[in-house]
Amino acid sequence: MRYPDLDAYGLTGDEMRFFWDAFAPPGRVDRSSPDLAPLTADLAGLPPALVITAEYDVLRDEGEAYAAALAAAGVPAVAVRYPGLNHNFPRKLALFDAAPLAVAQAGEALRRALCP
């Protein structure tokens, strides 16, 4: 995979390569496996999903494609894009006003899923 070397996205190309290699070491796992490439999987029957993306996240399009694929497979899926933000913004509660909102949204989705 080729990743952009743009720090503006909150995730650099070097970081992406490091994380991908740590998670799925090249030559040791099949990176095209549905477990590692969920867009190639049969998604029917999965539980409801909330997919939160950020406008300036290098992974935004993949996340939104995953939410669309879940919906196409009949899985209740909600995709929310937070404008003007980059990757990992929900962890930066003191920096971004939207971060606590995204965390609360994720918490509410978990509460609904675990305590119907």
Contact 47, 37 (CB under 8 A): no
Q: How many CB atoms lie within 10 A of CB 78?
A: 14
Q: How many CA atoms does the CB half-sphere of 68 hold within 13 Å?
A: 7
% pLDDT > 70, the chain: 92
Distance in angstroms (rounded) separating the CA atoms of residues 17 and 8: 17
Residue 4: its pLDDT value, please? 46
Q: pLDDT tens digit string along 7-50?
A: 556 777 788 889 999 999 999 999 999 999 999 999 999 999 99
Residue 9's pLDDT is 66
Amino acid of residue 23: F
Domain boundaries of the chain, sorted by first residue: 7-114
